[in-house]
């Protein structure tokens, strides 16, 4: 981690000169310059003073802000089994709170039965018409309709038409 670069970015965000930051921390402009160019490292106490002057703290400063936000199509993970294609839209979702996938079902294809588990599930039928079975109850879900349920009973979906079906399905916590 480039501490100097992060300090410089914070300083510029606050519209401070090196001299103004140095004055607030009882340091020299030369020291701030060396620090920002990673030619020296601050003590913990000096870093604490700098962060305080810049309106932040250790937790925020060292927080990993490199978490990916946007995922491109070529990063998706696809799995094709029988007449079902499952596409994981967020490849790292196993470590997140929810897991969005796209399920493409060929005509009359049925997903494997998902056993009861903790969490909740949501979906929207983007194309086609499906049958959603939760425990002993079955529901018909048409295109542009949604479903939402607690996943404490076995559940699965079936394409009940002779056309392809496409479902955006979100499991929380990740389960797929």
The residue extents of the domains of the chain are 3-62, 73-172
- In whole angstroms, give the CA distance from residue 5 to residue 64: 15
Summarize pLDDT for 7-45 with one digit per residue, the tens: 998 999 889 999 999 999 999 999 999 999 989 999 999
Q: What is the mean pLDDT of residues 61-89?
A: 86
Question: Which of 3.90.1150.10, 1.10.260.40, 2.40.50.140, 1.10.4100.10 would CATH assign to domain 3-62?
Answer: 1.10.260.40
Residue 95 has pLDDT above 80, yes or no: no
Q: Could you tell me which CATH number the domain at 73-172 has? A: 2.60.120.10
For residue 139, how far is the Cα from the chain centroid? 30
**Token match 């542009």: residue?**
144
Summarize pLDDT for 113-155 with one digit per residue, the tens: 999 999 999 999 999 999 999 999 999 999 999 999 999 999 9
Residue 81 to residues 50, 111, 174, Cα–Cα distance (Å): 56, 10, 20
- Topology alike, domains 3-62 and 73-172: no
- In whole angstroms, give the CA distance from residue 23 to residue 106: 68
Q: What is the pTM of this model?
A: 0.64
Summarize pLDDT for 151-165 with one digit per residue, the tens: 999 999 999 999 999
């Amino acid at each position: 981690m480039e501490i100097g670069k992060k300090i410089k970015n914070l300083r510029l965000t606050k519209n401070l000169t090196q001299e103004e930051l140095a004055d607030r921390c009882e340091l020299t402009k030369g020291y701030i310059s060396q620090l920002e160019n990673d030619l020296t490292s601050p003590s913990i106490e000096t870093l604490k003073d700098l962060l305080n002057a810049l309106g932040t703290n250790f937790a925020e400063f060292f927080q990993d802000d490199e978490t990916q936000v946007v995922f491109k199509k070529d990063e998706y993970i696809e799995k094709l089994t029988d007449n079902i294609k499952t596409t994981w839209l967020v490849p790292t979702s196993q470590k997140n709170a929810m897991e969005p996938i796209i399920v493409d079902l060929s005509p009359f294809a049925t997903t494997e039965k998902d056993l009861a588990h903790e969490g909740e599930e949501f979906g929207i039928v983007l194309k086609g018409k499906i049958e959603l079975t939760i425990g002993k109850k079955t529901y018909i879900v048409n295109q542009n309709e949604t479903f939402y349920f607690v996943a404490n009973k076995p559940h699965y979906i079936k394409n009940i038409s002779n056309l392809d079906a496409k479902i955006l399905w979100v499991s929380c916590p990740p389960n797929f």
